[in-house]
Amino acid sequence: MKGFKSGKSLYLIAAFALILVGTGCSIISVPIITNAGRNDVVNLGDSIFALSGKIQDYLHAWSGTTFRRYALSGSFVSHVSDQYDDARADNPYINTIFMDGGGNDILIPACAFDPYNCKKDWWESGLSSTCKNLINDVYVDMVNLLNRMGTDGVDNIIFLGYYHLKNGLIGTTALNPAVDYGDAKLALAIANATAAPNYRVFLDPRPSCTSSDITYDGVHPNDSGSYKCAALIWAKLQPKL
């Protein structure tokens, strides 16, 4: 796997790992799937998909087949790009991608030392300009990745956005203004990717996923949250199978 090669990313992930170890958690991922019943359908992303794997478990059950999976916990957008490279190296024929990305670019620094001031304190009137600039950079990186997918001939991109966090071991509601700004930018990336496929869709889980759908860490979906995210994806994925 080519990911996690940036020195800055390695530093931030190491700091995040120390936080998780200190709270009794760890950065783990379900196994990647390099050969599946439908090799043309590929999952990319971060721990929303990769920590438990339950979103994809539901999709496999509903479809009656399996899809390739390269999502890994702790992934930044740059690592999702590496996942895409790995998927193409294994089998370049990719028709449909369901994915997420960008959340850790905000969450991991915020959980470490919050250098971009992405946590909105009660006395602040809005999200900081430094955090907005960080998310704007994520937007550019995501557009570039989506454009590359389109140029490579991927027909369908289904992008799952992020729901609001709850207060937990690593999650905090102070990051929800950053989630809102980030989701708006990710949706814009899907809309503005000029070289992206004819069918691309942004899925907003905020209306359906609530605090009861999130594990005690405050970030990751529990079984009900995984079911709701999978249902959002399935509604768009099923017609493309």
The structure's pTM equals 0.90
Lowest model confidence (mean pLDDT) among 6-10, 136-140, 143-147, 231-235: 6-10
> How many residues appear in the chain?
241
For residue 131, the SS3 value is: helix
Categorize the per-residue pLDDT at 188 as very low, low, confident or very high, splitting at 50, 70 and 90: very high
Q: Are 29 and 50 in contact (CB under 8 A)?
A: yes
pLDDT of residue 214: 97
- Distance (Å, rounded) from C-alpha 132 to C-alpha 70? 28
Among the listed ranges 90-99, 135-144, 174-183, 188-197, which one has the minimum average pLDDT value? Answer: 188-197
Q: By C-alpha distance, which of 69, 94, 233 is closest to 154?
A: 94
Distance CA 138, CA 151 (A): 20
Closest CA to 1 of 44, 58, 62, 48: 44
What does the pLDDT look like over 98-128, one tens digit per residue?
999 999 999 999 988 899 999 998 788 899 9
The mean pLDDT value for 70-76 works out to 94
114 CB-near residues (< 8 Å, 6+ apart): none
Which domains, ranges and CATH numbers included, belong to the chain? Answer: 7-240 (3.40.50.1110)
Q: What is the pLDDT, as a whole number, of residue 27?
A: 63
The two structure tokens encoding residue 52: 């438990």
